[in-house]
Amino acid sequence: MQVATTKKALIDALLHHKSVGLVPTMGALHSGHASLVKAARAENDTVVASIFVNPLQFEALGDCDDYRNYPRQLDADLALLEEAGVDIVFAPDVEEMYPGGLPLVWARTGSIGTKLEGASRPGHFDGVATVVAKLFNLVRPDRAYFGQKDAQQVAVIRRLVADLDIPVEIRPVPIIRGADGLAESSRNQRLSADQRAQALVLPQVLSALQRRKAAGEALDIQGARDTLASADGVRLDHLEIVDPATLEPLEIDGLLTQPALVVAAIFVGPVRLIDNIEL
Ligand code: PAF
């Protein structure tokens, strides 16, 4: 496995490669990321993973505790990527990625990036789209792999490549869950054992909705919100039922007759957790 910390080293490493799969990450890797690499490995000759904690997608362009405290563990991440079968890791620092300061020109995500997660984290998806566009330009992958846990991110990136005609196929990869049902996330590291137990109400509420749908029963979206809002140690950010492609809210009158996604975010202590389920 080659590790490139500069754009030039990355481009040199990519000369003479056939099909390329890209797995963009911010590090703090877990089994969810390993599943992205596995999917990329199965479909491409060369697999590139990037590790870059992107200040643009954090509050105040990275001048915040969430950015400063974001777990950074390069050696452990490289070991996981090597084991998972990555060929090239791109791990630049901020100056390499944004020479001379943060960019003036950004990708603007509009209404798909300002609702749901984007309403709680203004500018977040513009920062994601900007860095992902840069990674696509540097790596020129045939396919790029993103976890379905960040459903809005997948929807935003699909629109990014469609609207800007970027020639890459976007491959969402299903959510990986711990044995207790909690969706894998780098943020889980910041939960105490008690907080992790409290967080389980999120996957429980989502799978209860899925069971009701499978049984042909009416869906009580407000009831699901109330359960989360009143759970011990939990603060509800949002729970919505939306169109999977546009993320526009769906008006459902009890029974659901079209594909839908339930997306939710909660705070457990200071940690913000997201999850979703397809219905
Ligand atoms: O999902 C993430 O880890 C990040 O948002 C991404 C796609 C690597 C862009 O920084």
- Contact between 144 and 21 (Cβ < 8 Å): yes
Bridge partners (DSSP) listed for residue 267: 235, 272
Q: List C-alpha distances in Å: 137 to 103, 130, 258.
A: 15, 11, 36
Within the chain, all domains assigned CATH 3.30.1300.10 are found at 186-278
Digit-by-digit pLDDT tens for the chain (279 residues) are: 999 999 999 999 999 888 999 999 999 999 999 999 999 999 999 999 999 999 999 999 999 998 998 889 999 999 999 999 999 999 999 999 999 999 999 999 999 999 999 998 999 999 999 999 999 999 999 999 999 999 999 999 999 999 999 999 999 999 999 999 999 998 898 999 999 999 999 999 999 999 999 898 888 999 999 999 999 999 999 999 999 988 999 987 767 778 899 999 999 999 999 999 999
Amino acid at 67: Y
170 DSSP β-pair partners: 144
CA distance 147 to 260: 18
Whose CA is closest to atom 8 on ligand 1?
25
Task: Tell me the CATH number for domain 186-278.
Answer: 3.30.1300.10
CATH 3.40.50.620 domain locations along the chain: 2-173
Ligand 1 pocket (Cβ < 6 Å) reads 24-26, 54, 57, 128, 131-132, 150, 153
Reply yes or no on domain 2-173 having CATH 3.40.50.620.
yes
Question: How far, in Å, from the CA of 229 to the mean position of ligand 1?
Answer: 28
